[in-house]
Amino acid sequence: MTKKKTAPKTKEIQAAKAQSLTLDEVREILSITIAEQVVSASFREFRTGSKGWYGAGKVVVDGVKCQVSCNVIVIGSKPAQK
């Protein structure tokens, strides 16, 4: 018989949130791999106010040259509406 997993306790969740990185700490460049080729994405603030990364480039997939664009949005980073 397998042991059933239990949900983390509230204190464990709060500790995990306290250790999570802030947006100021993660402004580095992301490397996104598509078909074993790397596309770099830079940190930016989008016009909507959301924060995340944007990258674009060209990759070859199964012999076909493709253009790639990618948005990586931090959930909850958009400022609250007034």
Asked whether the beta carbons of 30 and 41 are under 8 A apart, the reply is yes
Cβ contact 33:68 at 8 Å:
no
pLDDT tens figures, 14-47 = 555 545 556 666 678 889 999 999 999 999 999 9
Element (DSSP H or E) covering residue 12: helix 10-19
pLDDT > 60? residue 81: yes
Q: Where are the domains of the chain?
A: 22-73
Burial of residue 11, with CB atoms counted within 10 A of its CB: 0-12 exposed, 13-18 middle, 19 or more buried: exposed
CA-to-CA dists, residue 70 to 1, 3, 12, 48, angstroms: 44, 40, 33, 16
Quick one: pLDDT band at residue 1, thresholds 50, 70, 90? low
What pTM value is reported for the model? Answer: 0.65
